[in-house]
Structure 1
Amino acid sequence: MKNKTMPVVQYSFAILVLLFTLAPIAWMFVTSISYHRDLISVPLKWIPPAVTFQRYIDIFTNPNNDIAYAFKIAMFNSLIVCGIVTLVSLIVGLLASYAFARLKFVFKEKLMYLILFTFMVPSVVLVIPLYLMVSRLGMLDSKITLTALYLSMV
């Protein structure tokens, strides 16, 4: 009997996790196609009575819209930062993994443990100290800073 109920429990748990994972994405989509009055109404309407795609139309077709301009700049900045971080991470990771796999050097095992330990520290713990450091250096709102911080956490 235990073997037959275990898959049911596992699938139920998997479906529950899936719902919790996809719910914020679904809510973002619902809010993007809802009118503002529906979003601030009490009680909250989870399924919008009226749907509008005007926000998407404005972003992709109206170049004079401030929101569309800000969206395009944000997407371009994200592509630049993500591209640089991905490229540098791949290069450094490939070279480091080759060195650890093929070469023999002093403190190899201790260095491996040090790298492993850095992955055990949650990134959230570092957010406030990194913000204070970057703020004191006057480097806020910079793509270089964002790239360096992402690289330090990868």
Structure 2
Amino acid sequence: MRNSSKRQPSLVRLAALSSRRKRLLIEAFLTLAVYKGLLLVLPFKFFLRKEQPESVSSPTFDEQYVSDVVWAVRVVSSRLPLGFTCLVQALSAKWLLKQDASVRLCIGVQKNSTQDFSAHAWLVYQRRIILGEQEGQPFQPILEWS
């Protein structure tokens, strides 16, 4: 009986969400799952293929939509124990925001005091990090992709 009482608040919150946010949760889950699977079988350079530039200008999203996409990716990533890494999250959010060319995926590296190497991916929109911010861990950008 305890399990159902623990789930009820989450289900109640889910039912109370707008249809747009429910749709974004589904899209975020599907996109995260696809990228997770693809990254297991394909090299990363596959995702960085150059696309033909479009002749029409890229639309920009309103701040609320961008926030909702980031929220959906974070919620799905944190609730499901599937190991959605920062790269999977950044690629997924970039895909969901693909119509806006100003959304940039950044990958950076750092070496800490014990000479351990680490990498991190984050998403930038209008010159600010919207997904994957890391306080106190300065990563040296080595790749920026829009």
State the TM-score bracket (shorter-chain normalisation).
Answer: under 0.3
Mark the structure with the bigger radius of gyration: 1
What TM-score results when the alignment is normalised by the length of structure 2?
0.24
Higher relative contact order (CA 8 A, sep 6+): 2
Which of the two has greater strand per residue? 2
